[in-house]
Structure 1
């Protein structure tokens, strides 16, 4: 069984930095993000870790873990959102008190996806791969990003549909702030390696492949247990996004996932857009997708709204999803079964 948290109106958001905190010169952006959430009717509880950053982490691992443990066991907090991702979240996993985690949403992406996937695999509680707190500081959000709140407000037994974006952001323009954080200029087009319409279904798991691959072989990456005991051997539908891996490193990581059994009883793979997908010796990301399709004999969808090239949908680890691609447009129906 999967436990699905429920986001109540006016809930209290816990803001903590299990990976990177925010440097002093960017505290104004953090304060703006916190104020924006208050304006939307949420209460805010801030941890101390969000205000500090030293040697690629907000604070020592045990400090970060203690703050997160306290927020996860606090009944007054209904949602955890880190300011953003980072590099070294994996350091805190051994100090987390999973047995005492309350059922509440954790929302984020990038390095935060290590925490999201570990929590869902260890506890059977659904987690939300989507916007970071600083992504939500704008006067308004594009309609794709804004779906985070309706998705997290879906009740157990209900479903919700998201649609592919109209346009995506080609490059970050931090020197050009706007009422919407993202500058969406390029036409979105979801692709399939089969060059045909695709409909695929399964229980969602995924995240940023750069970091979640390091859960393989640890107590926090037991996909087989999750599949057998949480979803009764139903197929898994993986969504993945590449932040910084070269195409050859991406290929190595996917082969490792395959050899570790993560793709056993897998119904499909969907990949987010990526700036990192630059060819190595003419070896492209499309070559990788084609090889996976041939090896696993499953649908491959790519350039979807997920990851470091915004905007992105909110994908729920543990939700039953139906993903459809037709004429370059995509729909994602997630059911909290």
Structure 2
């Protein structure tokens, strides 16, 4: 059974950094985001780890875990949003006590997605893959990003619909900030394999493939047990986004996932737009997708709104979803079924 948190008006947001903290010269980004959240009626509580960064992490693993654990057990905190991702979140997993956690939303992506997937697989608590805190510092959010709040406010038993974006950001331009943070200049077009009109159904799981792959073979990545015991054999729709992997590394990772049983009873796979997918020799990302389709014979959707090329949908690990692709446009309906 999936357990869903519910975001209420006037909620208190806990900000902690289980991966990377924020160096001093960028503290203004966090402060601006916190002020925006308070303007929108939220209360914000920041932990100590948010304000420090050294040797590729906000602090040593036990301190990060202790702060996260405390916020998760604090009834006064309703929602957790790390400032952003990072590199070494996996270090904290061994120090967390999931058994003490009651349903509470955690929202984020990149390295944070490793924590999100581990929580859902090990507790059945739904987690939210979507925007991070610093990208909520604008005067307003684009229509796609702004859906994080309606999605997290969805009641158990209800459903929520999201549409693919109209435009996406090709590259970051920090010298020219916009009122909504992002520079949305390129036309969004989802792609399909083997065809351009597709429909898939199943329970959502996924995240940044660079990091969630490291759960394979650990106690935190037992997809087979989750599928059998928590979602009772329901098919899985995987969503992935690639931050830094070359095409051959992406291919190796997908093969490893297949060999580990992650794609057993899989109904489809969605891939977010990527800033990399760097070809090796003449092996392109399209070759990766074709090889994967030939092996699994499940539909693939690519260039979806997910990951490091914003904006992105808010996708709920554990939720039942119907995803439709037609003429380059996508519709994602998520049902908060237990």
If the length of structure 2 is used for normalisation, what is the TM-score?
Answer: 0.99
Work out whether residues 272 and 303 of structure 1, in 8 Å CA contact, stay in contact via their aligned partners in 2: yes
Q: Could you tell me how far 1:102 is from its partner in structure 2?
A: 2.0
Output aligned runs, 1:71-150, within 5 Å: 71-150=71-150
Work out whether residues 306 and 313 of structure 2, in 8 Å CA contact, stay in contact via their aligned partners in 1: yes
The aligned residue for residue 254 of structure 1 is: 254
Aligned partners of 1:194, 1:215: CA distance in 2, in Å?
A: 29
Q: Could you tell me how far 1:231 is from its partner in structure 2?
A: 0.5
Q: Could you tell me how far 1:278 is from its partner in structure 2?
A: 2.1
The aligned residue for residue 283 of structure 1 is: 283
Aligned partners of 1:35, 1:115: CA distance in 2, in Å?
A: 26
Output aligned runs, 1:155-170, within 5 Å: 155-170=155-170
Aligned partners of 2:28, 2:5: CA distance in 1, in Å?
A: 31
Gaps of 5+ in 1: none
Gaps of 5+ in 2: none
Alignment coverage as a number of residue pairs: 337
Aligned partners of 1:246, 1:202: CA distance in 2, in Å?
A: 28
The aligned residue for residue 315 of structure 2 is: 315
Work out whether residues 209 and 242 of structure 1, in 8 Å CA contact, stay in contact via their aligned partners in 2: yes
1:62 partnered with 2:75: no
Q: Could you tell me how far 1:8 is from its partner in structure 2?
A: 0.4
The aligned residue for residue 220 of structure 1 is: 220
The aligned residue for residue 35 of structure 1 is: 35
Q: Could you tell me how far 1:243 is from its partner in structure 2?
A: 0.1
Q: Could you tell me how far 1:195 is from its partner in structure 2?
A: 2.8
Work out whether residues 75 and 102 of structure 1, in 8 Å CA contact, stay in contact via their aligned partners in 2: no
Aligned partners of 1:319, 1:76: CA distance in 2, in Å?
A: 25
Indicate the SS of the match to 1:243: coil
Aligned partners of 1:31, 1:241: CA distance in 2, in Å?
A: 28
The aligned residue for residue 13 of structure 2 is: 13
Work out whether residues 74 and 102 of structure 1, in 8 Å CA contact, stay in contact via their aligned partners in 2: no
Work out whether residues 196 and 328 of structure 2, in 8 Å CA contact, stay in contact via their aligned partners in 1: no
The aligned residue for residue 204 of structure 1 is: 204
Aligned partners of 2:291, 2:208: CA distance in 1, in Å?
A: 20
Aligned partners of 1:74, 1:102: CA distance in 2, in Å?
A: 10
Aligned partners of 1:194, 1:296: CA distance in 2, in Å?
A: 12
Indicate the SS of the match to 2:276: coil
The aligned residue for residue 263 of structure 1 is: 263
Indicate the SS of the match to 2:287: helix
Aligned partners of 1:279, 1:94: CA distance in 2, in Å?
A: 35
Residue by residue over 1:32-82, the C-alpha shift from the partner in whole angstroms, topping out at 9 and shown as x without a partner, is: 011111001001111000000000000000000000000000111110000
Alignment root-mean-square deviation, CA: 0.5
The aligned residue for residue 274 of structure 2 is: 274
Aligned partners of 1:73, 1:255: CA distance in 2, in Å?
A: 38
Aligned partners of 2:278, 2:51: CA distance in 1, in Å?
A: 35
Aligned partners of 1:35, 1:296: CA distance in 2, in Å?
A: 47
1:188 partnered with 2:188: yes
Q: Could you tell me how far 1:194 is from its partner in structure 2?
A: 1.4
Indicate the SS of the match to 1:294: helix
Aligned partners of 2:225, 2:4: CA distance in 1, in Å?
A: 19
Aligned partners of 1:74, 1:285: CA distance in 2, in Å?
A: 44
Residue by residue over 1:12-33, the C-alpha shift from the partner in whole angstroms, topping out at 9 and shown as x without a partner, is: 0000000000000001111101
Indicate the SS of the match to 2:78: strand
